[in-house]
Amino acid sequence: MDLADHTPRHVPVLLQRADEILGPALRSGGVMVDATLGLGGHSEYFLRTYPEIHLVGLDRDTEALQLAAARLAPFEDRITLVHTRYDGIAAALAQAGFAETGSVRAILMDLGVSSMQLDEADRGFAYSVDAPLDMRMDPTTGPTAADVLNTYSHGDLARVLKTYGEERFAGRIASEVLRRRAQRPFTTSAELVELLYAAIPAATRRTGGHPAKRTFQALRIEVNRELESLEAAVPAALDALAVGGRIVVMSYQSLEDKVVKHVLAERSTSRTPMDLPVELPGMGPEFTILTRGAEKATAAEIEDNPRAAPVRMRAAERIQASR
């Protein structure tokens, strides 16, 4: 696949704001981790802007790694690319020769499905085109969305749709999936979209956005174990940061943002009992929050890059070594 097929439409989300936050930690060089490398748009910018940094880029998608490697070839002596999920940060840093805890100056996590994955019709992420029901971010391993639809019990399928898609009609959809798969297994996204149009009431379809959006999100999260991975990845990322190091996390749906918000809040809160007048040694917060709540894209950025519309950015800086 040619990188040129993707680069023109690959617009890094909140790039300037990410630079405003991470830049102060990178001006004197050091290690930066792009935990969700994708097509390498953010990484290319930071490598060009901060010529003293070494970038460790992670992605579970082998095709994305190949395309990013081509894009970042001018910086090949300053990059280490690793095929892993973002909860594999510690092992990736060790592979790159930076195993020491607290060795990283900046970490970027741009969560969710990548532009490449959405644009590749045969990956099955987009409900707007008919494609095999795959949805794996790492196409070399694990069950597909079709496997989930064709093998999960009614209860498990309804749980996935309700929990990960916040789908009001999860039970009704699960019942229809089981009825139809008894006649013929699901193989393509068009089959699922047609089912969803039939299962979701017309009044809801008129006001609730595309009827497939929530189900496709739920299946993607389940197939890729996204929240499970994220719950491990954010603490691992924070542990890797040096004092003065900074992290930016961009989420695209509320479940991701809740995980990020919880972990950052926990690590930026003092453990000294509230009734004590002074901070106990070693009990102070490790991090300070750099954003006021979750920052959103501006109207201008959304106009230029519609995929930035749902983004929620949170950031923090390490102010104390690990407890």
Binding site listing for S-adenosyl-L-methionine: 40-42, 59, 86, 110, 117
H-run or E-run covering 260: helix 254-267
Judge contact between 318 and 287, C-beta under 8 A. yes
Within the chain, strands assigned E span 30-34, 53-59, 79-83, 104-110, 241-251, 287-289, 312-318
Structure tokens at 68: 């990013």
* CA 121 to each of CA 11, 29, 127, 133, 288: distance values in angstroms, whole numbers, following the listed order: 19, 39, 10, 10, 41
* CA 191 to each of CA 137, 160, 187, 256, 263: distance values in angstroms, whole numbers, following the listed order: 21, 19, 7, 28, 39
Structure tokens at 193: 């979209």
Beta-carbon count within 10 A of 28 CB: 11
For the chain, first and last CA: distance in Å? 46
Judge contact between 217 and 164, C-beta under 8 A. yes
Judge contact between 149 and 157, C-beta under 8 A. yes
Q: Which residues make up each annotated binding site? A: 40-42, 59, 86, 110, 117
DSSP result, 203-230: HHHHHSS-TTHHHHHHHHHHHHTHHHHH
Q: Tokens 């095999």 appear where?
A: 132
The DSSP 8-state label assigned to residue 307 in this structure reads G
